[in-house]
Amino acid sequence: MKICVITKKSSILGGGYSNRTRATKFNPTGTVRKHINLQKKRIFVPEINKFINIEISTKGMRTMKKNGAYATLLKAGLVK
């Protein structure tokens, strides 16, 4: 299962109803897995002078931009 290393988010199960199903009140279409928006990124961390390859969600990217790459990766346990 794919999980964001920063936010620890993963996919969820959601309802797969069409508007026609809502209108007629029968024939449910079951559940649909909604995947998290994961991106593969190569990030340079100047504090350790290294590149790190991670699979991160777009919300995790915003968190990293706000708090800084090193501080965020340190909190996630990816750098020492």
What is the predicted pLDDT for the residue at 41?
93
Per-residue pLDDT at 27: 66
Domain, as residue range, for 61 = 12-76
- pLDDT at residue 29, as a whole number: 72
Whether 21 maps to a domain, the answer reads yes
What pLDDT, on a 0 to 100 scale, did the predictor assign at position 50? 93
55 domain residue, yes or no: yes
Q: Full-prediction pTM beyond 0.95?
A: no
Residue whose structure tokens are 């504090």: 47
Number of folded domains that form the chain: 1
Residue stretches of the chain with pLDDT short of 50: none
pLDDT at position 74 is 92
Domain presence at residue 59: yes
CATH number of the domain that residue 65 is part of: 2.30.170
Please state, in angstroms and rounded to a whole number, the distance separating the CA atoms of residues 62 and 7.
11
pLDDT at 28: 67
Within a domain: 16:
yes
CA distance linking residue 80 with residue 70, whole number of Å? 10
In-domain check, residue 5: no
Q: CB–CB of 28/18 below 8 Å?
A: no
Distance CA 46, CA 30 (A): 48
